[in-house]
């Protein structure tokens, strides 16, 4: 059975950028709801028992059509949010000379250029969804996914993800998605991004 991972920091640790009340609701309510619904379908489907959420999402087309959308939506919700919590830290620092710093600069020209492209993709994401920095065939790429679709289902390794569902920011920023995104950059856990990148590269 899937369980709710503990946040790697206090609920108020990301303030003033992400408020404690939003973190409580987002983590304790929204994420838990995805887990509950995923567990329900796993309980009713013996063939899914014992699989990791990544194993459930890697080839969604192989899932029975009766449960596919439930697994993609709620399994993706669990996987995406588990990843998202780790993408943030109260001690954000970008090191230009780090492995990921050099990779980002080589691919996008500069960290500022990367942020501009990523932000543009997040603002352009219609409705609910996510924006990701992913590794695909050792190349960095910015992609968007609708709803709770996971990059894993596209054969891409997520390195950094931003939740642009309104529940991620509406209490503090209302409909001002641009303000939320600008604030969120102050919380990015670049050490986590680098760990995911080096892992992706080593697997190729």
pLDDT in tens, 108-132: 999 999 999 999 999 999 999 999 9
For 11-27, what is each residue's pLDDT tens digit?
A: 999 999 999 999 999 99
> Is 130 in contact with 163 (CB distance < 8 Å)?
yes
Average pLDDT over residues 162-185: 98
Neighbours of 85 (CB within 10 A): 19
pLDDT at 124: 97
What CA–CA distance (Å, rounded) separates 72 from 56? 8
Average pLDDT over residues 184-196: 98
Instruction: Give the start-to-end residue ranges of the domains of the chain.
Output: 20-86, 99-202
- Per DSSP, helices labelled H in 95-164 are 99-108, 111-124
pLDDT at 204: 59
Best CATH choice for the domain 20-86 from the list 1.20.1250.20, 2.60.40.420, 1.10.10.10, 1.10.287.990: 1.10.287.990
Single out the residue of 35, 33, 31 nearest to residue 1, CA to CA. Answer: 35
For 131-161, what is each residue's pLDDT tens digit?
A: 999 998 889 999 999 999 999 999 999 999 9
pLDDT at 203: 79
Third-level CATH fold of 99-202: minor pseudopilin epsh fold (3.55.40)
């Amino acid at each position: 059975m899937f369980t709710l991972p503990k946040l790697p920091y206090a609920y108020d640790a990301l303030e003033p950028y992400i408020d404690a009340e939003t973190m409580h609701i987002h983590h304790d309510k929204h994420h838990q709801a995805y887990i509950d619904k995923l567990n329900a379908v796993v309980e009713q489907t013996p063939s899914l028992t014992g699989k990791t959420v990544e194993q459930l999402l890697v080839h969604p087309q192989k899932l029975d059509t009766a449960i596919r959308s439930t697994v993609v939506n709620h399994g993706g919700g669990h996987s995406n949010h588990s990843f998202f919590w780790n993408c943030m830290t109260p001690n954000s620092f970008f090191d230009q000379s780090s492995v990921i710093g050099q990779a980002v600069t080589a691919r996008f020209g500069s960290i500022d250029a990367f942020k501009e492209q990523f932000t543009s993709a997040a603002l352009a994401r219609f409705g609910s969804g996510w924006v990701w920095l992913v590794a695909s065939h050792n190349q960095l790429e910015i992609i968007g996914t609708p709803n709770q679709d996971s990059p894993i289902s596209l054969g891409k390794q997520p390195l950094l993800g931003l939740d642009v569902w309104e529940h991620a920011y509406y209490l503090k920023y209302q409909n001002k998605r641009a303000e939320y995104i600008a604030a969120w950059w102050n919380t990015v856990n670049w050490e986590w991004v680098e760990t995911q990148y080096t892992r992706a590269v080593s697997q190729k």
